[in-house]
Structure 1
Amino acid sequence: MSATVGRMETAYRVMRQDDNGNRFLVAKGLTRPAAEELAAEFEARGHKQLYWVERDGAVAAGA
């Protein structure tokens, strides 16, 4: 990852949906690989909830 000042990077968040259809924010401001890893960790626990990764906007590099 480059630390170039002013460069913008996209942040990602992990979301969860329970078996009643309610959606919750699990984590935000993550890199895509970190968000995917976290979602996979929760999925591996075998709960009925659904986890996914989505874009969370842009943040300045190094922020």
Structure 2
Amino acid sequence: MLTNLARFNAIIERGFSQGDLTDADEICAENLVEHEYLSPTDIPGPQILKAQIEDARRSIRI
């Protein structure tokens, strides 16, 4: 069983650093509610995290 820290690290390392979105499906609940300004609200939980990762990665590309 993964600890919360291990889950967080997986999202940062594999998701944000490498672009691997598979952890989002395993970690996020379908009924996740994101309270961050400008986050999408009309999609299921894992898709919210995937969109945030993709947006962040797209914004740092040179």
TM bracket, shorter-chain basis: 0.3 to 0.5
* Rg comparison, structure with higher value: 1
Q: TM-score, normalised by structure 1?
A: 0.34
Q: TM-score, normalised by structure 2?
A: 0.34
> Which structure carries more strand by proportion?
1
> Which structure carries more helix by proportion?
2
